[in-house]
């Protein structure tokens, strides 16, 4: 069985840190943070837990910055999304679920070119 590690990009790390800082005084941030932490175990158990995003829909930013050739989306509370890609680990029995972003619905729509209503 392969070991699955979760790593955060710098952008995802910044958002995670912000959520941790705001969680004590904000119910919304606390709810999003709790869901993010719960999904870690689900992804470790099943790296393909998230909804796969078609290769042709992967934003160029993710292709260039992270060499992403696959992308998965996990829905979070308050219309937030967790976006991650899977890569091979440093040894042959490891998968890295590299979290690229934690973004809200508006930013998600912008990254993927969806038009607002």
Residue at 76 is within a domain: yes
Q: At 94, which CATH number?
A: 3.30.2310.20
Which residues, in sequence order, are CB contacts of 44 under 8 Å at separation 6+? 4, 6, 97
Percent of the chain with pLDDT over 90: 73
Q: What is the pTM of this model?
A: 0.88
Q: Provide the domain limits for residue 20.
A: 3-111
The residue written with tokens 């955060």 in the block is: 8
List pLDDT tens digits, range 25-78. 999 999 999 999 999 999 999 999 999 999 999 999 999 999 999 999 999 999
Domain assignment present for residue 69? The answer is yes
Total domains in the chain come to 1
pLDDT (0 to 100) of residue 114? 80
Query: Does residue 116 lie in a domain region?
Result: no
Decide if 10 is inside a domain: yes
| The pLDDT value given to residue 90 | 73
């Amino acid at each position: 069985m392969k070991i699955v590690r979760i790593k955060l990009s710098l952008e995802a790390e910044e958002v995670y840190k912000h959520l941790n800082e705001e969680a004590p005084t904000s119910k919304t941030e606390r709810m999003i943070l709790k869901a993010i932490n719960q999904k870690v175990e689900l992804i470790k158990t099943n790296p393909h837990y998230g909804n796969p995003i078609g290769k042709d829909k992967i934003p160029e930013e993710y292709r260039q910055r992270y060499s992403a050739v696959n992308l998965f989306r996990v829905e979070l509370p308050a219309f937030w999304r967790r976006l991650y890609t899977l890569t091979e680990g440093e040894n042959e029995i490891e998968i890295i679920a590299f979290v690229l972003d934690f973004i809200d619905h508006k930013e998600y729509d912008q990254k993927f070119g969806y038009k607002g209503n």
